[in-house]
Chains A and B, each alone.
Chain A
Amino acid sequence: MAERIGVFVCKCGPNIGDRIDVDSVVAEAEGIEDVVTAKSHNLLCSEDGIRFLQEEIRKGGLTRVVIAACTPKQYEQKFMRACEGVGLNPYLLQMTNIREQCAWVTPDPAQATAKAKSLVRAATMRATLQEPIEKKEIEIHPDVLVVGSGVAGLEATLTLAQKGRKVYLLEKSPCIGGLGARFEEVYQTMECAPCMLAPELQEVLQKENIEAITYGELEGVVGSYGNFTVKIRRKARYVSEEACIGCSACFEPCPVEVSNEFDEGLSKRKAIYIPFAGALPNVPVIDEANCIKLKGGECNACQEACPFDAIDFDDQDRIEEKRVGAIILATGSTQFNPSSLAQYGYGRFDNVLTGLELERLNASNGPTGGKILLKDGREPRSVAFVYCVGRKEKGHCSGICCMYSVKLAHLLKEKIPGVEVYSFYTDLCLPKKEHQRLYEEVVEKGVEFIRSNGSERVSRDGKGLVVEYKADSTSKSLAVDMVVLAPAIEPNPDTAKLAAILDIPLDERGFFSEEHPLMKSFGTPLEGVFIAGCCQGPKDIGDAVAQGGAAAGRILSRLIPGEKLELEPIVAVIDEEICGGCNTCISICPYSAISRDEEKKVAVVDDTLCRGCGTCVAACPTGAARAKHFTNEEIFAEIREVVR
């Protein structure tokens, strides 16, 4: 049956009408096959114009509509709704742009009119070939993936879980809690960090709708907001989480000793270990790289020691897929390595530590059970802090190092009576309402703040250390037992890996880039993907928690269970009769929307994932892949008419 096409040319007041001979364009349209009505209108987008259009569609029983007017970017949606309103599938409308891309750029009226005619012919011939497309909706997935279980991830997880959301909390290390779990006390409250975190950690492990996956990593993500499929690798623990009761009988017999990364290398651990006393979940892991048995040798000391048969050397990595509607990244940060700056002697001299190392020495779950000791076992009598290590190199102030150094100075003064504490700084950053007070307190306790020009140099002198520095334009030196550096905070290497997996940008420093640095510091440019905590930039616990809460709140207010998500209607389809099963499209699709039907040996497009870019259509050697609304035939028709 022949189509009944209506062509409507808008004058847009004088905008089109003054440059283009609209009547002759209408006349041209009238001459095209199957065009049953061609008319002009002064302002098609006006209320009157829309009424006119709908009346024409109804009256003429039109099956295709062509509108020659302004850019479709302006009113295409409005005209589509108008068609829908009178029962015409909106994809049977074709607009052509005779204003921005014709009348306004072509000074000569004759040429503008000729171009407009060709554009109208192209749109009309194309419209004949267009097919109705039905809108599709899917239900959103209200579940959420949180990556990283530091304070930011914990807050996000618990906020979401409180509202009944299912949350997958994915943690890379064997235990949850992040950096905070490794501190003894935290500013500004100077309370016990493990005690502060314990209730949260317990809740995460016990709450029914939270699935904490430790020793796991994110391997891949496909899909989009409301409908992500995430691939998670659960690394083999070689210890059954169900059978193990955490009795620790297996550690002692293990003959392997390696440096413990959770104590910043200040202690040794076995090949079967938990990161530190009290780490949760209280289930050890066997470190594949160091275990004799797993490296192919002879040993099963831990298995013999385990009274509960929890050791399983045949354990294997497992890949699991989860469907979630949103993702929060809370993977924290790392610290600038001061050994690259030789002047500080870090890595060369004993008793030159980083702040984090001192945190571990001070922690009752740390290598010395909380005793702050020099390498030779003595208590330090004098300690010098050096602030801003690597600030110049990194080009940013990390904002927390001054405060944690002040905190550590405070702790030293409390723990070791009579210890002398010096703090070398160039600038002090004490921004929050309680920070100044804590600083004044340590000054009162006798911590000496020395403003230098940042040229500190550490050398060894017998058993001790010497800090050479320049203050008030004179070179001075100071002998101390211990030097504590405050290195800049920098992105951890996983940041770039995750950015690549999720296809989200990094900022120039390598942290995740936010949707807006002020208004949406917890969002990313990718809808449904959020960031919280130090992976967005250095910050203290309070700010990290606030971002975790903000991201969770945004999800709770936007990703509502039961709500529908409209899918992109302009997708690709693959004709299984033609598809040769070459897999070209599968590898080229930027959204992993195409998979292989092994039975039929053809490629299939998942239209919940396809965004309709047409890349597969261009790449398909057989012509089996077709882009809805942008088929070859439709584009060929346009080409034919625009060159005619």
Chain B
Amino acid sequence: MNEPTIVSFLCNWCSYEGADKAGNARLEYPANIRPIRVMCSGRVDTELVLQAFREGASGVLILGCHPGDCHYKKGNYKTRRRMLLLRKALAQFGVEPERVKVDWVAAGEGERFAKVANEMAETIRELGPLRLPLSG
């Protein structure tokens, strides 16, 4: 318990269902993965990610449909690009870029969801809680 929280934005069409499939299969991943449903990963802008850090999250996981499968055509590409830039900016502020991760989980990929969630949890466990130079 009390592992640092990972805010996980899940797109409605693929990754949210992928997370459900992980549940159906009774796969396990840490409870600090906290899902928030959005319609598309393309809805996730840097503001939402920074807000998560500001509120005390230690990691942000953004999951969308696989490239080419976004329900709204290309939202996932847009977010991937946006987050690449954000990761660079974060690094300049001394925040480990690994704290923001964009990945793809299809609606049927319960196993993959659990794997990605566990890996992210492991990354954040190793990095430890985020001490924010940004806040205030």
Contact = CB atoms under 8 A, between A and B. Distances in A.
A115 B78 CA distance: 30
B27 A105 contact: yes
A630 B38 contact: yes
Interface in A113-128: 114-115, 118-119, 122
Contact of A588 (B35, B38, B78): B78
Among B37, B43, B74, B78, which residue has the most Cβ atoms of chain A within 10 A?
B43
A615 B78 contact: yes
B45 A618 contact: yes
Among A72, A108, A613, which residue has the most Cβ atoms of chain B within 10 A?
A613
A639 B38 contact: no
B58 to A, nearest CB: 9
B43 A630 contact: yes
B114 A105 contact: yes
A585 to B, nearest CB: 12
Interface in B51-101: 51-52, 55-57, 71-75, 78-79, 82
A100 B42 contact: no
Query: Interface residues of A toward B: which range?
Result: 35 or more
B48 interface: yes
Majority secondary structure of chain B interface residues (helix, strand, loop or mixed): mixed
Contacts of B132: none
A617 interface: yes
A612 B7 contact: no
B51 A99 contact: no
Nearest to B117: A105
Nearest to A112: B31
A110 interface: yes
Contacts of B78: 588, 615, 618-619
A63 to B, nearest CB: 22
A309 interface: no
B43 A613 contact: yes
B126 interface: no
A100 B38 contact: no
Interface in A596-644: 611-615, 617-619, 627, 630, 632, 635-636, 638-640, 642-644
Interface string A84-126: 0000000000000101111111111011101100110010000
A615 B24 contact: no
A570 B39 contact: yes
B16 interface: yes
A71 interface: yes
A617 B35 contact: no
Contacts of B82: 618
A73 B28 contact: no
Contacts of A494: none
Given A73-B16, A615-B43, A101 B35 contact: yes
A561 interface: no
B54 to A, nearest CB: 9
B52 to A, nearest CB: 5
Contacts of A99: 23
A618 B44 contact: yes
Contact of A644 (B24, B56, B74): B56
A614 B48 CA distance: 13
13 contacts: A105-B23, A108-B31, A570-B39, A588-B78, A590-B72, A591-B72, A618-B45, A619-B45, A636-B48, A636-B51, A639-B7, A643-B5, A643-B56
